Amino acid sequence: MGFSVNESSFLFDELLENCYSDRRKMYSGDAPKQMRELIAEILNSEVKTEKVSIFDPVAMSGSLLLTLKEKFQSKVELRGEEFSSDIFRLSKMNMLIHGIDAQTIHDNFVRGDFLKDEEFDANSKFDIIPMIPPFSRHWDANPELLNDPCFSEVGVLPPKSKADYAYVLRGLQHLSEDGTMAVMLPTGALFRSATEGEIRKYLLEKQNIHAVISLPQGARNYMAIYTVLLIFKQKKSDKILFIDASRDGVKNATRLKQNFLTEEGFTKILHTYRNREEVDRYSRLVSLDEIRENDYNLNIPRYIDTFSEKKIDVEATMSSLSAKQKVIEKSKKEMIELLNKFDTPEARQAIKAVSISE
């Protein structure tokens, strides 16, 4: 009897957590089930053809690819790449459990470092690219890479200490003309400066960024940080849809650093994204001109007013203060009556102090 995607993903998460401590440090585990489903639903809404090619450059256990396969109505061709040899072996097991034949796994899934682009030809294009890269991974950033078409046009490399945009640029290199790519990154990718700021400007001017979705703190396993889901397209987007779902999380009782989206929050993201709706204090369609005015900074509070004014009921507040004042006055009278029973200098001094405070 086979396992469902959810059952298999749970078993693999437990196996990875308990058997491969280095995996936890490098990747912080696969994205939670809910995040995999969110990415799958968003990308599924972009599919317009009967057959679609899907490539996950950081395949990990393969659970994200399998979730997409389960959600998509189209016939899918899955391809994946994984850096860790241990995790690569586990991902092949996961694929076999889900009925993918051994020859397809051998042909379509490879072990390699996507940033070096050694396993896939630069001309290989895919319709859908879901990606959850290791956050702020250190990488080579060799200046010779500026001769690589992936980086030559932008003219700069991401810093050695943060490969986030290296994954983005490499992913776009493999995205088909009508394709869509979803990448989960730390929120800092929205506003960090230096070469990352230049790369962000390049992507914005090319109008590759389709949407920016802010997620609750701890949306990725084991990491108590805020994350963002960036949606990219090869076709130009006139405006960028900003969605702030960072306040729609609830705490995971078993993994305290992790938050889930509420069911309503999950549905709201999908509805807003699919319809590109503007919702007060939640989502906005923002022009490139406005982003230029903000020096290509994509930090969501610059575009969505998240400040919420508390309405004060003046009458109720005054009534409450009046009631508290009466209680205080009654307590003072009782204290003075009690102190009057003591004919001592200390008691008289205390009565004086209480009387002055009235």
Is residue 264 within 8 Å of residue 275, measured between CB atoms? no
C-alpha separations of 190 from 24, 114, 284 in Å: 25, 22, 16
Residues forming beta bridges with residue 242, ordered by sequence position = 212, 284
C-alpha separations of 197 from 5, 37, 202 in Å: 38, 30, 9
Report the Cα–Cα distance between both ends of the chain, in Å, rounded. 79
- 278-303 pLDDT per residue, tens: 999 999 999 999 999 999 999 999 99
Distance CA 225, CA 187 (A): 8
Average pLDDT, the chain: 84
Handedness of CA 223, 229, 230, 233 (dihedral sign): positive
Distance CA 187, CA 228 (A): 5
pLDDT of the residue at 295: 96
Distance CA 155, CA 333 (A): 79
- 55-77 pLDDT per residue, tens: 999 998 888 999 999 888 888 99
What count of other Cβ atoms lies within 10 Å of the Cβ of residue 99?
A: 7
Residues forming beta bridges with residue 82, ordered by sequence position = 111
Q: Which residue in this structure is represented by tokens 């006055």?
A: 329
Judge if pTM exceeds 0.85.
Answer: no
pLDDT band at 175 (very low <50, low <70, confident <90, very high): very high
- 113-142 pLDDT per residue, tens: 999 877 777 778 999 999 999 888 899 999
Distance CA 338, CA 53 (A): 85
Distance CA 15, CA 8 (A): 10
Q: Where does 137-208 show beta strands of DSSP type E?
A: 175-186
What's at 11, amino acid-wise? L
CA proximity to 146, closest of 166, 131, 161, 126: 166
